[in-house]
């Protein structure tokens, strides 16, 4: 792994109007963290959830939260190292591809589940 990446998930408690039926932004944040931890075990990354209506004090996060609102982006918006990796209901395929651009190597571990 070349560099520990930072992943930001911008969203809101209320589901995006265009994303009815999709999981909430917070649920997506938790699901994504778990999926990435399984796919890249032992390869650390930082994740941060930013509420677009209350982004906190970081000026870059405030600016991007405002961009999500101004440009009517579908949220949650997943940003990896400053680049939008996915918006709306993200697919793991896109996120994995972006992680692997930063040197993350997928685990070849066998599934913990077996059929008998």
The CATH number that domain 6-101 falls under is 3.40.30.30
Q: Would you list the domain boundaries of the chain?
A: 6-101
**Given this model, what pLDDT does residue 116 score?**
44
Side-chain half-sphere CA neighbours of 57 within 13 A:
0
- 91 vs 22, 31, 60, 62, CA distance in Å? 12, 11, 25, 25
What is the secondary structure of the chain as a DSSP string?
Answer: -----EEEEEE-SSPPGGGTTSPPHHHHHHHHHHHHHHHSTT---EEEEEETTB--S-HHHHHHHHHHHHTT--SSEEEETTEEEEESS--HHHHHHHHHHTT-----PPPS----
- The rounded average pLDDT for each run of 10 residues, N- to C-terminus, in the chain (116 residues) is 86 73 86 95 95 94 95 92 92 94 81 44
What pLDDT score was predicted for residue 107?
Answer: 84
Position 113 scores a pLDDT of: 42
């Amino acid at each position: 792994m070349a560099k520990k990446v930072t992943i930001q998930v911008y969203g809101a408690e209320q589901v995006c109007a265009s994303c009815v039926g999709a999981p909430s932004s917070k649920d997506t944040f938790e699901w994504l963290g778990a999926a990435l931890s399984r796919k890249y075990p032992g390869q650390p990354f930082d994740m941060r959830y930013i509420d677009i209506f209350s982004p906190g004090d970081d000026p870059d996060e405030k600016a991007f939260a405002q961009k999500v609102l101004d440009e009517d982006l579908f949220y949650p918006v997943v940003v990896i190292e400053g680049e939008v990796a996915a918006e709306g209901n993200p697919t793991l395929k896109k996120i994995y591809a972006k992680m692997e651009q930063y040197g993350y190597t997928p685990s070849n571990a066998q599934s913990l589940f077996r059929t008998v």
